[in-house]
């Protein structure tokens, strides 16, 4: 399926709006755990083979791998998290922005492919007045679906 520049621009605008919308009042270790559990519940209801990871700062507070995942999903999580931590935006948005410029993330930034993956699924956890304070990540689905699952969970979690 070919994506037109207009489609790409609309997707970028949508993801930017999600990042602006999904800001929390606070984010504690207990919140990270609850968010991770919520993602596991959503994945279990849908029988999704995903790995879920939630971090506060650089500390991994929650990690779960559902049946059907492999250690490769853990590697994808780490690579996506590095993108969010370095660029302060969702891994999906960073990759989309590179595509919109007619290049790839790897070509644009010259970062090691084994360490960085600008594919959907890692989303910055932002707190009002504090900016990014963590990262929530899903790996195992096509990138737009990984991203959508995280957004759905954050919307539910935020209330």
CATH number at residue 69: 3.30.450.150
According to DSSP, residue 141 is labeled: S
Q: pLDDT tens digit string along 133-150?
A: 999 999 999 999 999 999
CB 150 within 8 A of CB 123: yes
d(CA 29, CA 55): 9
Q: pTM of the full predicted structure?
A: 0.95
Compute the Cα dihedral for 59, 106, 121, 47 and give only its sign.
Answer: negative
Give the domain extent around 86. Answer: 5-158
Q: What does the pLDDT look like over 46-67, one tens digit per residue?
A: 999 999 999 999 999 999 999 9
Number of domains in the chain: 1
């Amino acid at each position: 399926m070919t994506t037109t520049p207009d489609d790409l621009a609309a997707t970028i605008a949508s993801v930017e709006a999600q990042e602006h919308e999904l800001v929390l009042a606070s984010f504690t270790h207990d919140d990270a755990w609850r968010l991770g559990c919520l993602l596991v519940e959503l994945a279990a209801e849908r029988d999704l083979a995903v790995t879920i990871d939630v971090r506060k700062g650089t500390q991994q507070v929650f990690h779960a791998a559902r049946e059907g995942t492999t250690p490769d999903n853990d590697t994808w999580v780490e690579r996506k998290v590095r993108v969010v931590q370095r660029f302060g935006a969702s891994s999906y948005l960073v990759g989309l922005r590179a595509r919109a410029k007619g290049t790839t993330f790897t070509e644009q930034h010259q970062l090691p492919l084994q360490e960085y993956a600008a594919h959907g699924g890692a989303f910055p956890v932002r707190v009002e007045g504090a900016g990014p304070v963590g990262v929530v990540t899903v790996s195992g689905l096509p990138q737009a679906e990984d991203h959508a699952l995280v957004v759905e969970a954050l919307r539910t979690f935020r209330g």
